[in-house]
Amino acid sequence: MRIGELSERTGVPAATIKYYLREQLLQPGEHGEGNTVEYGSPHVHRLTLIRALSETAGLSVAQIGEVLTVLARHQDSAFQAMGAALAATHREPAFSLASEGTREAAERTVDQLLGEYGWAEVAPPMYRDAMVTALTAFYRLGNPDPQEVLGHYADAAAALASADMEAIAEATRVEGVDVEQAVTATVLGETVFAALRRIAHIAASARTQASQGPGS
């Protein structure tokens, strides 16, 4: 198919496809007679993947490039690919209004939590720092110590991570290693989990209001 048909089939404008080709996110087509270039089903699949990472997961072009590099480098290990994809898509939060003591308090809270769950030695510094930055902002706004809530977060994260590992291990055992499936499940799973958390909040709020009765 020509680039126009590829655009129609994927919903990606031809100009954007050409941009992805220049950025090497999309493999070149095959040259036919004259100056024609033909594209096939692999290009349709790659563009669908790029759209999912961009429009659904909200990744930047640079981050998408990192994910695609991960897929190419870790073709034999779904678990290594998952870890590399998480690192590639990490967004570093920034907060420059920390007053004296708030960052130190955030660091104590985070380090205590990581230590309690046995994660202190394995937690990459960028994720530990992201938690510290978020809690620094939380404290700077005058909020109380969220230690109990953080424990619930950690419990949920541990359960989710175990479920992810079991699912990938089972899929690998039955169907063989599918690195792309593992990576996309990891990246898109964060969007799904964030949506589920909001739905759960709404449901919990509704139950609380109902138990308190009208006018409460």
204 is a domain residue: yes
82 is a domain residue: no
Q: List, for residues 16-70, the tens digit of each pLDDT value.
A: 999 999 999 999 998 877 778 899 999 999 999 999 999 988 888 998 998 998 8
Q: Which residue has the higher pLDDT, 87 or 21?
A: 21
Q: Tell me which residue range forms the domain holding 182.
A: 88-212
CA distance linking residue 33 with residue 37, whole number of Å: 8
Q: What does pTM read for this prediction?
A: 0.73
Q: What is the total count of domains within the chain?
A: 2
Mean pLDDT score of the chain: 86
pLDDT at residue 154 is higher than 90 = yes
What is the chain's Cα-based Rg? Answer: 22
Q: Are residues 113 and 47 both part of a single domain? A: no
> For 108-136, what is the mean pLDDT?
93
CATH of the domain at 48: 1.10.1660.10
String of b and e for 94-121 (b: at least 16 CB within 10 Å)? ebeebeeebbebbbebbeebbeeeeeee
